[in-house]
Amino acid sequence: MSNSATVEQPRNILNLTERAIGQVRSMWQDAPADRGRPLRVYVEQGGCSGMQYGLVFDEIRDGDVVQQHDDVQVVVDPVSAGYLAGSDVDFSDELMGGGFKINNPKARQSCGCGRSFEA
């Protein structure tokens, strides 16, 4: 990987709430192999509304937008960044419908699960 192709942004593409940051830290505790790895937030085709969100621990790739939220590093590929700009990533531990939720102001329609949307 070449850091010269990595895009450092002065502003954030998306925001992580304190609950989301806390959940990432908790996941690091449960999976030591992922501890400290960046959280990749991305968009792909699928889901009940046409597009779906994904979150996974990953490496920084060429062209990624890299953001820092406390001790959590977030990476977003350039295509996903266009869909995610201005979004909030939250976490809910509710029994029904819990998990990471993305509030995306660019979504024309979102699924009730908070994991898919229509662009």
Domains defined along the chain, listed by start: 3-118 (2.60.300.12)
Maximal C-alpha separation, the chain? 43
Reported pTM: 0.80
Q: How far apart are CA 98 and CA 104, in angstroms?
A: 17
pLDDT tens digits for 39-51?
999 998 865 657 7
pLDDT in tens, 22-44: 999 999 999 999 999 999 999 98
Q: Residue written as tokens 């953001």? A: 67
Asked whether residue 4 carries a pLDDT value surpassing 50, the answer given is no
Residue 118: pLDDT above 90? no
